[in-house]
A and B are shown apart, each in its own frame.
Chain A
Amino acid sequence: MNQDPVSQNDQERLGELVTINIGPSHPAMHGTLRVVTVTDGETIVKAEPEIGYLHRGVEKLGESLTYHQFIPITDRLNYCSAITNNVSYEMAVEKLMGIEVPEKAQLVRVIMMELARIADHEVCVGILGVDLGAFTPFFYLIIQREEIYEIFEWYNGARLTNTFGRIGGLDADLPDDFEERWRELKPNLRKANEETEKLLTHNRIWMDRTIGVSAFSPEDALNWGFTGPCLRACGVKRDLRKDETYCMYDQFDFEVPVGKNGDVFDRYKVRMIEMEESIKIIDQAYKLYKEMPADAPLKARVPKVIKPPVGEVYSALESPNGELGFFVRSDGSNKAYRIKIRPPCYMIYQAFNDLVKGEMIADLIACISSLNVVAGELDR
C-alpha cells in the first residue's frame, strides 16, 4: 500500500473526513477482506486494505507435511479454482525432481485447469454483478458452475477441493462420460455467458458503473506486479500459457484478450472472453486426448516416498487470477524446507489504494470484486 499519510491538503480538512471501516464482515468483502477508508463524503481519500484475516499458516504447514500431504492444502488457497493450485504445486515439485509428466496426463491437466478457470471466472463475474446490484446473472452463471463441479466430482470425488493429480501425474483418468457431459455443458456455458452479456454489457447503468472506474496504466500495473486478467485489462498482452508455456499449451490455438483502460469493465470483458477461449482450449485438448492410446501412461515413475534432491525452484503457471507461483526449497528430506506461494491477487490487491483513490465508495466495491481477490490465496 502506498502508505503516505493523508496529504497536507487533506489534513487541513480532516474535520470533514470520515473514516469508514469496511469489512471484514461485509457483503462485498468476500468474508475476510477489510478496507479502512478515509472518505470525503462519498469520495475515497485513502483506502488501506488490511489482510491476514484468513492467514492459516499454510507455508509453515508445508514445512511440516510431506510433499504429498501438502497437495490437499493447496486446494484451499484459491478455492474457486483449486485444480490450478494443485497443478501449480505439483509442477514445482516435479521441476525440483526433474520428472517429465506424460503427455496424456498433461492434457487431462489442461482440460481440468481450463474448467477450473471457467468456474473461477464465473464466480468472479457473477459476484461482480451481485456487488453492483445485478443479481440475476450470478444465478445463471452459478448453475453452469454447478455442472462443472459435477464433472470434477465424477472425476475424483470432490466438488471444490479436488486434490487433483499427484506429483508426477494423475491419480485417475478422465471419466468415461466426460465427453457426453462436456458436450452437454458447452452450449449451456455459452448460453449463460451470452445471457450475462445481454443483461450487463450494453446496459448503460452497467457501463456507467464500470467504464473508467479504477483505471490503471500498464506501467503502473507492471510496477505493482499485476498479472493475469487485471494486467491484460490494462493492455499488456502477457499470459504465461503463451509466454512461458507449460503443459503443452503451445499446441493449442487460443487468443489472449487484452483491454484498453484497465478499468472494471475491461477486466470483466477480459474474463468473459477468456471463458470462451477456455472452452476452445478444452475442445482442442480433448481432441488430442482422444488421439492418445487408451493405455497411455498417466503418471511418471515416481518414488514412493518423495524426496527431492537439495535445491530450490520457482515454478509458475497462469491461474485464473494471474501468475500463481510456488517456490519450493528442499533439503533432501521428505518434507519441504520452505514453500513460498506467490498468489496473484496478493500483488494486485496491494495496489488497492492507488486503484480506488478518488473514486466513490460504490466503485470501491466494484473494484474489489473485479480484482477477484480470493482470501484463501491472499492470506494463505
Chain B
Amino acid sequence: MEGWVIAIIKVVFIWAWVLLIATVMTWVERRGAAMMQDRLGPNRAGPFGLFQPLADGIKLFTKEEVLPKKAHKVLWSLGPLLFALPAFSAYAVMPFGDKIVLGGKEIILQVSNVNIGFLYILAIGSLAVYGIVLGGWGSNNKFSILGGLRSTAQLISYEVPLGLALLAIVFVYGTFSLRDIALAQQGTFLGFLPNWGIFKQPLGFILFMVAIYAEANRVPFDLPEAESEIVAGYHTEYGSMELGLYLFGEYVNLVTLSSLIVVLYFGAWHIPYIDVSKFLGPVSWGIVSFLIFYLKVSFFLWLFVWVRWTIPRFRYDQVMGLGWKALIPLALFNLFITALFIQLAA
C-alpha cells in the first residue's frame, strides 16, 4: 500500500515537473531565439512574458476544432495522442536524482527501476513516429503525408545509429538499467577523467547527439515540419488543442531526450571529483542531486534551442545519406573499438 502511494506521488510529481519544464522550455525557446536574433520575444504575458505558453494553451484550448472533411477521423485524433503520450511514458524509467531517505525509508528518485530500462526507452521512443505518421496520413493533405513519410524514413534511419551508440554504452557499463549506469558514473578513471559516459564514449556521444536531434525533429533535422517547404508538415491540418499536443509533445520529447543524454553521458547527478553526498544529509542530498540533474538537463535543452537558431536544415536525401553513410558505419566502428577495448582491458 505504502509503495503504491509513493509510486503515485512520484508519478504525479515527475509528470507535473516535466510538464513545467516543457512549458518553460517553450518560453525559453521563444525568448532565446529572439535574443539571438536581436529582438525581444514575447514579453507581454506576465513578467518577462513567462505566461506566454499559458496564453497559447488557453487560446488553443478554446479554439474551434476543425475536422477536415476527408480526414480519417480515428487516425486524425489518434495522431497527437500517440505523439504526446510516449514522450511522457519514457520518463517512467528515467532516474532523475539519487535517493531520499524519509523516515527510514529509502525512496529512489525514479518512477520504476526497471532492469531493462534501455529497451523500454528504445521501444517507447520509436512509438512517437506513429503519432506523426498517423497524423500525417489521417489529415488527407499532401503536405501532411509528405511530412509523415519524411519523419518515418528519418526516425527509422536514425534509430539504428542511436541503438548502436546505446549498445556501446551497454558494453561499457555492462547493464541495461539506467539507474545502474547513472550510479556507475561516479568517481574517476585513468586517474583524472571523470567516470562519465562522454569520456568513455566520445564518438558515441557525438553520434548519439546527432541521432537524438533527428529523433526529436529539431533543426537541422526538422524535415517533417519544414516550415518553408511543406507548410507545417504533419500538423498542417491540425488546429486547436491537437496542435497544442503536437507542439507540446515536442518539448516533452526534448526533456526526455536531454535527460537521457545526462544519464548516459553526463554523469547523471554526479559532479566530477567531488562526492557531494558526503557533505549533505540524506534528504538534502536527494534534493541537491535532483537539482544537479536538471541543471545538466537544462543545458542540453538550451543546446537544442541554440543549435536550432544557428544552422539551416538538411535536405531529405542528405539526411538519409548522413544517417546511412556516415552515422551507421561510425556507430559500428565505435562499437567495434569499444568491444576491443573492453576485451583488452579484461
Contacts and interface: CB of A to CB of B under 8 A. Distances in A.
Complex A–B touching at CB under 8 A: yes
Interface of A: 18, 20-21, 26-28, 42, 129-136, 139-140, 143, 199-200, 203, 205-206, 208-209, 360-363, 365
A360 B311 contact: no
B56 interface: no
Interface centre among B219, B220, B312, B314 (most CB of A within 10 A): B312
30 contacts: A18-B142, A20-B146, A21-B142, A26-B231, A27-B228, A130-B228, A133-B220, A133-B222, A133-B226, A133-B311, A134-B312, A135-B37, A135-B309, A136-B309, A139-B37, A139-B38, A139-B39, A140-B37, A140-B38, A199-B310, A203-B312, A205-B313, A206-B311, A208-B314, A208-B318, A209-B318, A360-B316, A362-B223, A363-B315, A365-B228
B229 A365 contact: yes
A192 B148 CA distance: 37
Contacts of B220: 133, 205
A143 B38 contact: yes
B36 interface: yes
Contacts of A129: 312
A143 B312 CA distance: 20
Given A131-B228, A139-B38, A42 B146 contact: yes
B230 interface: yes
A132 B228 CA distance: 7
B229 A361 contact: yes
Given A27-B227, A27-B228, A139-B38, A362 B312 contact: no
B231 A27 contact: yes
A367 to B, nearest CB: 12
B313 A132 contact: yes
The residue among B143, B222, B223, B313 with the most chain A CB atoms within 10 A of its own CB is: B313
A205 B223 CA distance: 13
> Which of A27, A42, A140, A208 has its CB near the most chain B CB atoms (within 10 A)?
A42
A243 B45 CA distance: 57
Interface residues of B, number: 28
Which of B220, B228, B313 lies at the interface centre, i.e. has the most chain A CB atoms within 10 A of its CB? B228
Given A133-B222, A135-B37, A136-B37, A361 B312 contact: no
Contact of B219 (A27, A133, A199, A208): A133
A102 B260 CA distance: 71
A135 B222 CA distance: 13
B64 interface: no
B290 to A, nearest CB: 34
A46 B318 CA distance: 22
B317 interface: yes
B232 to A, nearest CB: 9
Contact of B312 (A27, A133, A360): A133
Nearest to B309: A136
Given A139-B38, A361-B230, A205 B146 contact: no
A133 B308 CA distance: 9
A205 B311 contact: yes
A21 B231 CA distance: 12
A360 to B, nearest CB: 6
A123 to B, nearest CB: 15
Contacts of B37: 135-136, 139-140
Given A135-B33, A203-B311, A206-B312, 9 more contacts: A21-B142, A42-B317, A134-B310, A134-B311, A134-B312, A134-B313, A136-B310, A139-B37, A199-B311
B317 A360 contact: yes
Which are the 6 A-B pairs with shortest beta-carbon distances?
A: A133-B313, A139-B37, A134-B312, A131-B228, A28-B228, A132-B312
A259 B230 CA distance: 30
Interface centre among B33, B231, B315, B318 (most CB of A within 10 A): B315
A12 to B, nearest CB: 22
Interface in B15-47: 33, 36-39
B228 A133 contact: yes
A21 B230 CA distance: 11
B142 A20 contact: yes
Contacts of A140: 37-38
Contacts of B222: 133
Nearest to A363: B315
Nearest to A26: B231
Given A20-B142, A133-B222, A139-B37, A362 B311 contact: no
Which of B142, B311, B317 counts the most A-chain CB atoms under 10 A from its CB? B311
A251 to B, nearest CB: 37
A361 B229 CA distance: 7
Interface in B206-254: 219-220, 222-223, 226-231
B142 A209 contact: no
B76 to A, nearest CB: 21
A27 B231 CA distance: 6
Contacts of A139: 37-39
B229 A208 contact: no
**Chain B CB within 10 Å — which of A42, A133, A203 has the most?**
A133
A134 B310 CA distance: 6
Contact of B226 (A18, A21, A143, A362): A362
Contacts of B36: 136
